[in-house]
Structure 1
Amino acid sequence: MAVIRLDDGDTDNIEKTLAVALIDSSSSNVTDRSITTIDLLASSTWEKVPSSKTLITPVQCKSLWRQFKTEIEYSVSQAISAQEANKRNNNWLPPPWAILALIILLNSSMTLLRCTSIELI
């Protein structure tokens, strides 16, 4: 929410500006950095919006978006690292069916040993 809107009239183009400046530019892979693009959020005021109705300026929106992306990227990388570490740490365990088979074999072996020791007495 960048501005206060008390009516349904969308006389400004803030949503479009934000979508183009923040979402479209971050999702497109720009490989040629020599092309100069216009920074839509380099202003301290919104077009067609009085400053009395402005909650966050375009520059503040851009700054908040960068902070959000940085924090999200950090959180995602931490989650991925935790998943990979968990996978590495759990690799020493055999699959569940093998654990069950070992328990059954051990139980059978113990039963066989008990029967053999009873017959020897």
Structure 2
Amino acid sequence: MTGPASAAAQELAARIVALPSRTDMSVRDAVEASLTTHTVLRLSYVDATGRQSDREVEPAGLLTADGRWYLIAWCRARQAGRGFRLDRIAAAATTTERARAHDLTALLRGSAGADAVRPATLAPLTSRR
């Protein structure tokens, strides 16, 4: 990204901060790195029943709902789009393997997050030119 869009993105990024949460900072760092570098993410996930599983996922984006953050990704084990609550990811590690591109809207289709929208203020930065 170059020009005015780049400057707008940098200015916006400088004004976004987050308080530490129950999410392990190393998990958050790995998720952010994987999203930024478009690489496969290995994670250990604990579901709502307390069952742990190890997954390789191809991250598509982040969703926030009801005060929680979710990694939306293509799960290789399930061969489907899945949402992973960040505070339930017990461990995460980036890989050097490039992840395939997945459309966030398509992965959310049919889920509780299907009606999610991008903030209007980000629209100029996400429009295709």
Query: Please, what TM-score do these two structures have when normalized by structure 1?
Result: 0.25
Higher strand share: 2
Query: Please, what TM-score do these two structures have when normalized by structure 2?
Result: 0.24
